[in-house]
């Protein structure tokens, strides 16, 4: 996309992404197991201007790396009716723009603890979790989540509720992105904080052949991070002082025949920038999905159709009027096969029908894309 906010066929991006991950799990007796997880994600982007258009000034060669190391411990008590989870996590993100001699890194250390217990013949389930983050740039923060559910046997009805506090630090892209024809990062950003709750019900029908669910949710944000237009057709992330999202979600799952499950969901979300009294950007009011999942023996096949409704992309720099993104429909397909108990072959096709759509105004998305791999467990 050019600096004038319209597609430029000569301005291209090449992407090379690699993810390497490994998990090692060790069971110690009947009450303790622990897992070490390590991952490295590397992405390389080349933005290339193919003509001397005076409105496009910038080629860039960007490489990012995210390294994560996690050690999780599970302790099973009271015949596994009581589970305590404790662990530590380290994450480091690095970004280098070789075209502009820009090199940045940020890191975060965290410890977490969760207590989950089942009571009254497993009808009542309670969960309490806490996490402490120590961010290199943004300091320390403690977050938490509490949740409860209760099964009413007589009617096969489950009532659910949860409440929590969350913390989200700006990414390297939020802080240091640099492309004069498109926008810039904002090193003065503050972390995003939120508190939210949900209330829901799940109803089993026809002997568990049909499961219906409904829930209401609300989230209140402080310093929500959104990319906004700071000059005509140029963008940067800024903090929205106070914002909220609220809405409801419906779900339906039908076991049509043996090994075949049909699923459907619909979500309605209302959003508000409380200071400016307007909708938040790029958050659809309506979205839904339909899915088919077939699991014959060692194989599994999943076909999913998604609908995303129209949403505000941005507000005009001069007019302040909303610029809308069109709604779109997209289908994805995934398949997997257990070659042995320890080796799984998987593949997926995203955007199965090669649909053209936009998640950001005037920026194209990938057409039909193919992925595959082999997963081994030892």
Over residues 98-156, the pLDDT tens digits come to 766 678 999 999 999 999 999 998 899 999 999 999 999 999 999 999 999 999 999 99
Q: Is residue 6 part of a domain?
A: no
Burial of 170 (0-12, 13-18, 19+ CB in 10 A): buried
Over residues 171-186, the pLDDT tens digits come to 998 998 887 778 889 9
Q: Is residue 238 part of a domain?
A: yes
Q: Is the model's pLDDT at 4 over the cut of 50?
A: no
Could you tell me the two tokens for 171?
A: 């990414």
Q: Is residue 3 part of a domain?
A: no
Q: Which domain, by its residues, includes 232?
A: 11-376
What span, in angstroms and rounded, lies between the C-alpha atoms of 300 and 115?
Answer: 33
- Report the chain's terminal Cα–Cα distance, integer Å: 46
Q: Is residue 107 part of a domain?
A: yes
For the segment 343-369, the average pLDDT, to the nearest whole number, is 92
Closest CA to 208 of 251, 249, 254: 254
Structural domain total, the chain: 1
pLDDT band at 232 (very low <50, low <70, confident <90, very high): confident
Q: Is residue 237 part of a domain?
A: yes
Residue 57 backbone dihedrals phi, psi, to 5 degrees: -115, -5
Q: Is residue 40 part of a domain?
A: yes
Q: Is residue 2 part of a domain?
A: no
What span, in angstroms and rounded, lies between the C-alpha atoms of 330 and 307?
Answer: 7
Q: What percent of the chain has pLDDT over 70?
A: 92
Over residues 178-216, the pLDDT tens digits come to 877 788 899 999 999 999 999 999 999 998 899 999 999
CATH number of the structural domain spanning residue 68: 2.40.170.20
Q: Is residue 300 part of a domain?
A: yes
């Amino acid at each position: 996309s050019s600096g004038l906010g319209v597609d430029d066929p000569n301005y291209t991006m090449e992407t090379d992404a690699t993810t390497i991950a490994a998990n090692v799990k060790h069971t110690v007796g009947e009450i303790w197991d622990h897992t070490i997880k390590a991952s490295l994600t590397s992405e390389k982007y080349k933005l290339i201007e193919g003509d001397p258009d005076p409105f496009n000034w910038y080629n860039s060669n960007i490489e990012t790396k995210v390294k994560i190391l996690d050690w999780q411990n599970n302790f099973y008590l009271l015949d596994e009716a009581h589970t305590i989870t404790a662990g530590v996590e380290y994450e480091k993100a690095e970004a280098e723009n070789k075209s502009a001699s820009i090199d940045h890194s940020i890191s975060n250390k965290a410890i977490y603890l969760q207590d989950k217990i089942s009571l009254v013949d497993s009808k009542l389930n309670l969960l309490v979790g806490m996490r402490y983050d120590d961010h290199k740039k943004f300091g320390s923060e403690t977050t938490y989540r509490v949740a409860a559910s209760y099964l009413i046997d007589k009617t096969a009805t489950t009532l659910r509720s949860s409440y929590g506090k969350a913390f989200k630090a700006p990414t390297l892209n939020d802080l240091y992105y640099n492309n004069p024809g498109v926008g810039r990062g904002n090193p003065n950003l503050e972390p995003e904080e939120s508190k939210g709750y949900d209330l829901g019900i799940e109803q089993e029908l026809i002997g568990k052949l049909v499961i219906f669910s409904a829930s209401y949710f609300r989230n209140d944000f402080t310093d929500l991070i959104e990319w906004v237009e700071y000059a005509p057709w140029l963008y940067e992330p800024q903090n929205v002082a106070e914002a909220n999202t609220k809405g409801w979600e419906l779900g339906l799952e039908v076991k049509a025949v043996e090994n075949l499950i049909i699923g459907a969901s619909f979500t309605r979300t209302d959003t508000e920038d409380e200071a400016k009294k307007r909708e938040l950007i790029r958050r659809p009011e309506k979205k839904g999905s339909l899915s088919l999942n077939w699991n014959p023996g060692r194989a599994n096949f999943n076909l999913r159709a998604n609908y995303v409704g129209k949403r505000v992309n941005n507000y005009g720099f001069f007019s302040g009027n909303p610029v809308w993104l069109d709604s779109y429909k997209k289908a994805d397909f995934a398949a997997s096969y257990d070659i042995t108990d320890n080796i799984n072959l998987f593949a997926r096709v995203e955007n199965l029908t090669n649909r053209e759509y936009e998640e950001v105004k005037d920026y194209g998305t990938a057409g039909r894309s193919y992925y595959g791999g082999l997963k081994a467990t030892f």
